[in-house]
Structure 1
Amino acid sequence: MTRVDLKAAVIAGTVAGVASGLVKLGWENILPPRTPERDQTNPPQRLLEQLGVPEKVTHATYTYSNQQMPWVSFMIHFGFSTSFALLYSVAEHYAPVIRAGQGTLFGLGVWSAFHLGIMPAMGTVPSAKDQPAEEHFSEALGHMAWMWTNHIISDEVYRDLTNTK
C-alpha cells in the first residue's frame, strides 16, 4: 500500500474546499435552490438560530458594490465545503470507492444525507416532500459539481505536493 502524506492531503482538501465553495456559490446564482421568500433566512442562518445564535448575528452582512453580503452564511458555507473537501481528500486514500464518478456520487450522498435527511429532521429546512422540485434539482446537481471540483483540485494539489505525477 502506498504511504499517504496526510499533511499534503489536508492542504489539498483545504485548497479544494475553498475553490469548490466558490463553485457552489456560483452554481446557486445560476440555479437558485430556494425562492427569495425561503432564502430570507437561508439554511445556514436557520441552523445557527436553532443553536441559539441571535438573528442580528446570523443575518450580519458586509457591503460590497452596494450590496449586502451575508458574511455569517458565507462562513458556514465555506466551513462546510472545506470540511467535506478535507474529509474527501484524506479518505479517498483509504477508501478509494468514494472516488466513484470522480466524487460526484459522494456529492450526491452528502446532498441526500443533509438535504433529504438531517436538515429536514432537525427542522432546518422543510421535509423532502415539501421542498420544490427546483430545489432538489439545483442542490443535487450543485453537490455533484461541488464534489467533482473537490476531486479534481485536491488530486492535483496532492500530486503537486507529493511530486507523484
Structure 2
Amino acid sequence: MMAQVNLKAAIIAGTAAGVVSGLVKLGWENILPPRTAARNQTNPPQRLLEQAGVPAAVTHATYTYSGEKLPWVSYLIHFGFSTTFGVLYSVAGHYAPSIRTAQGTLFGLGVWGAFHLGIMPAMQTVPSAKDQPAEEHFSEALGHMAWMWTNHIISDELYHELTNSK
C-alpha cells in the first residue's frame, strides 16, 4: 500500500525545486548556449508570446542590472515553466514513481523531446528538429537532464524535511 502523500509539502517542495532548477538551466545555457545569437534575438518564450498576440514591445521588455539588459518577460515564462514542472514532478512522482527513474533525468529528456522536438516545432515557435543545429540538441538535451535532476534532488530532500519522513 502506498504511503499517504502530503500534497502541500509536495507542492512547496516542487515550487522551491522549480525555482532553483530554473536558475541551474539558465546557468547551463550560459556555458552551452543552445541557440545562435541571431536565433536568440527573439528567444522561444518571446516567440511563443508573440504567437499568442503579445506585442514585441512587451515580449522584449527588459530591466537593467549591473549595466546588462535582461529579458524579464522571458524569465517569467522560463521560471513559470520550470516551477510548473517542478511541482508536477514532485507531486506526480509520489503517484507514478516510474517518472523518477534515473533521478528524473529520463523525465527531463522526455520533456526536452516533447517540447523541443515535437510541440514547439509543430507550433512553429522553433525550427523543425531537423533544422535545429546539433549544438542546440546537445545543449537542450543535457540541460533538461540537469534541470530535472536538480528538481529531483531538491524536491525530494525538501519534501522529506517538510514531512520528517526520512
TM-score (norm 2): 0.99
Give the unaligned 5+ runs of structure 1.
none
Q: CA deviation at 1:156?
A: 0.4
Partner of 1:33: 34
**3-state secondary structure, aligned to 1:53:** coil
Aligned residues: 165
Give the unaligned 5+ runs of structure 2.
none
Matches within 5 A, 1:17-56: 17-56=18-57
**3-state secondary structure, aligned to 1:68:** strand
Q: CA deviation at 1:26?
A: 0.1
Partner of 1:130: 131
Q: State the AA in 1 paired with 2:74.
A: S
Partner of 2:111: 110
Matches within 5 A, 1:62-141: 62-141=63-142
Q: CA deviation at 1:77?
A: 0.1
Q: State the AA in 2 paired with 1:41.
A: T
Q: CA deviation at 1:33?
A: 0.1
RMSD after superposition: 0.3
Separation (CA, whole Å) in 1 of partners of 2:67 and 2:104: 37
Runs of 4+ deviating beyond 6 Å: none
Q: CA deviation at 1:82?
A: 0.2
Partner of 1:6: 7
Separation (CA, whole Å) in 2 of partners of 1:99 and 1:66: 41
